[in-house]
Amino acid sequence: MREGKLWINLRQAMDTDPVYKPIFEALISQLKRLNPGFSPLRAYGGILISSPRAQVFFHSDVSETLLLHVKGRKRFRIYPPRAPFVDPQFMEAILHKTQTEDVPFDPAWDEQAAQIDLDPGAFVSWPLHAPHRVENLEGLNVSITVEMVTPQSTLQNGVYHANGVLRQAGWTPRTASTRGVQAYAKMGLSRAFKAYQSVMGAPSEPAPKSETTFDVDLAHKDGLSDRATA
Ligand SMILES: [Fe+2]
């Protein structure tokens, strides 16, 4: 763990483990108290443990995220949630599960990124869908992640999902705006399409985050071996 490039995500450890769950619930209720109007529909907490040299490549998450840093040092780079950093069509594809959350990256974009170095006790958050990448700087890294579904993220993701449906039908959506009646109409379309898919038994793609693509292998210099090339 300290030598390789392992990155372990104990998903939902904070909201299911009996030791951590009360801490997580207290955190969420404190966030609600301090931020009037903040009303997550669902919140999930994970524990990230990663090697001193591990990194997380450029990607865009579908949920609102908060990272509370506990141990080690890491560098966050956060990019604006718009083209060219993240193309609307990529968000549509991620939500249609035809693509993973990894999106194309150009190192020249670093100049326009917000760079934030995290020490233990610091936290970071970013606008919905803002792409980001992370490099560990020092020591074994431990962080708590909070993934939240909010009314706003549900509406924005519904609009992107519906735009993807329209694009499949040959239309080119002109906006991913969440304002006005058209946004709610798109959310209705998105829900109807998902209901249709579940009735028709749409082929279920493996969730990218749940794919097993490697095995822990301490004999390997990175601490893991890739299943595809093993
Ligand atoms: Fe992320």
At 211 the pLDDT is: 62
Q: Are residues 72 and 20 in the same domain?
A: yes
At 230 the pLDDT is: 43
Condensed to tens digits (0 to 9), the pLDDT of residues 85-95 reads 999 999 999 99
Across 7-21, 92-106, 148-162, least confident range: 92-106
Q: In DSSP terms, which residues pair with 65 in a beta bridge?
A: 147
Condensed to tens digits (0 to 9), the pLDDT of residues 5-24 reads 888 899 999 999 999 999 99
Q: Are residues 86 and 184 in the same domain?
A: no
Question: How many Å lie between the centroid of ligand 1 and the Cα of residue 174?
Answer: 27
Question: How many Å lie between the centroid of ligand 1 and the Cα of residue 86?
Answer: 13
Is 84 contained in some domain? yes
Question: How many Å lie between the centroid of ligand 1 and the Cα of residue 95?
Answer: 15
At 209 the pLDDT is: 57
Question: How many Å lie between the centroid of ligand 1 and the Cα of residue 111?
Answer: 20
Question: How many Å lie between the centroid of ligand 1 and the Cα of residue 200?
Answer: 32
CA distance 174 to 63: 23
Question: How many Å lie between the centroid of ligand 1 and the Cα of residue 222?
Answer: 22
Quote the domain boundaries for residue 86: 7-150
Condensed to tens digits (0 to 9), the pLDDT of residues 111-133 reads 999 999 999 999 999 999 999 99
Question: How many Å lie between the centroid of ligand 1 and the Cα of residue 212?
Answer: 18
Q: Residue 38: give its domain's CATH number.
A: 2.60.120.650
Phi, psi of 67 (to 5 degrees): -120, 120
What token pair was written down for 89?
């069509």
Question: How many Å lie between the centroid of ligand 1 and the Cα of residue 219?
Answer: 29
Q: Are residues 47 and 143 in the same domain?
A: yes
Question: How many Å lie between the centroid of ligand 1 and the Cα of residue 61?
Answer: 5
What lies within 8 Å, CB to CB, of 100 at 6+ separation is 59, 94, 208
Question: How many Å lie between the centroid of ligand 1 and the Cα of residue 39?
Answer: 21
Q: Are residues 84 and 172 in the same domain?
A: no
